[in-house]
Amino acid sequence: MLLPPCEHDPDVLRDLQARLAVQGRLTFAEVMEIALYHPVGGYYTAHVALGPEGDFVTAPEEHPAFGALLARQAAQCWQALGAPDTLLLVEMGGGRGTLAAALLAHARDNLPDFFAAVQYLLIDRSPRLIAEQRARLAAFGPRVAWADAVPAAFTGVLLSNELVDAFPVHRVVMRAGALRELYVIERAGEFVWEEGDVSSAAVVDYFARFDITLADGQQAEVNLAAPAWMQAVGRALTRGVVLTIDFGHLARELYRPERRNGTLLAYRRQCVTDELLICLGRQDLIAQVNFSALVDAGNAAGLTPLGLVTQQNFLLDLGIEGWLAALDDGKLPPRERAGHRRGLLALLNSAEDGLGNAKVLVQAKGVSARLDGLMPAARSVNATKLREESLPTER
């Protein structure tokens, strides 16, 4: 499918041109920050469109079972913390509030003790998305709140889904044994790439920390914001669990020589492209996550990694097959049954770009927990339990 022409957002364009007039060139991390998060014209601020009719579909938008199963996992975290009267559940980058709605609805209907304890806190940079969240979650009243940042110190669960892959990244290339950075300049009215010395020692140190040497001519991304974010999260969490769901790999796999062009991609209208310097502000930009960096940063902040698994295995261990099996009992009309099956299978799709191939990193501080989402032995038991429950329908 060929995408129609798309112009840069005018506010993003003016900002980039003004900065280039002063600086001459910008790192791609600077460009990505402006393109995605400009306060007026950024993609997530003004143009993001989620869901089947939008630019891309995330797991919560695909089927409410995703939020329901996360409710079950969060409830197990709550129990591991001693079932306190109040549990702060923080979601960063909450999209349209679809995940929160499905999680809270399932907890309300099936996990009443856990639901009574939950205080749900959403943190987002987009006023537009926060407005959608408020509308979708209004029925849950004061149980849901919003903040600009993670609390300075809290006990609970912190959850993110496809957040880190949208953090701004530096773009680099190896040339004759020397690491070079790919900058953005303006030439003849267009944004183009220009190679230069790396912008900071942190970019070089990043690869040294994970003992990675790129092949000659290999391009890659460096996400310096991700480990900084994880350290901040780990330091703020006094006791609890961090669940990070995103697309990516451990460093050795992420930077293998076969990935000659890195992982940076743009998404618009359900299509993907490697044309990164067009349509700035009006298309999504993502790069796969280095989970080694998140584990390393978490360790430095006192977080212990409990496991890293694919989303497919995580949801299977939580029992999603029980709902798939329940579709065969004939209680639902054929069209509704087919819709549920399509959505559930999409969550488990293990193709390279399928939702089931996303990774789930679980880290903990001050709590010892054997979580079902990390235990294949829990699959059949959980599937049997869910077989008796109605499929979640909150969207």
Which segments of the chain have a pLDDT < 50?
395
Amino acid 195: pLDDT: 97
In angstroms, the first-to-last Cα distance of the chain is: 28
Gap between the Cα atoms of 175 and 181, Å rounded: 10
Task: Report, at the CATH architecture level, how domain 59-167+225-247+288-385 is classified.
Answer: 3-Layer(aba) Sandwich (3.40)
Amino acid 390: pLDDT: 86
Amino acid 71: pLDDT: 98
Gap between the Cα atoms of 183 and 180, Å rounded: 10
Gap between the Cα atoms of 117 and 112, Å rounded: 9
Amino acid (1-letter code) at residue 294: L
- Tell me the pTM: 0.95
Gap between the Cα atoms of 235 and 232, Å rounded: 5
Q: Where are the domains of the chain?
A: 10-38+170-222+260-278, 59-167+225-247+288-385
Q: Which two tokens stand for residue 155?
A: 């006990």
Gap between the Cα atoms of 309 and 160, Å rounded: 15
Amino acid 51: pLDDT: 59
Amino acid 272: pLDDT: 82
Do the beta carbons of residue 365 and residue 306 sit within 8 Å? Answer: no
Gap between the Cα atoms of 208 and 292, Å rounded: 13
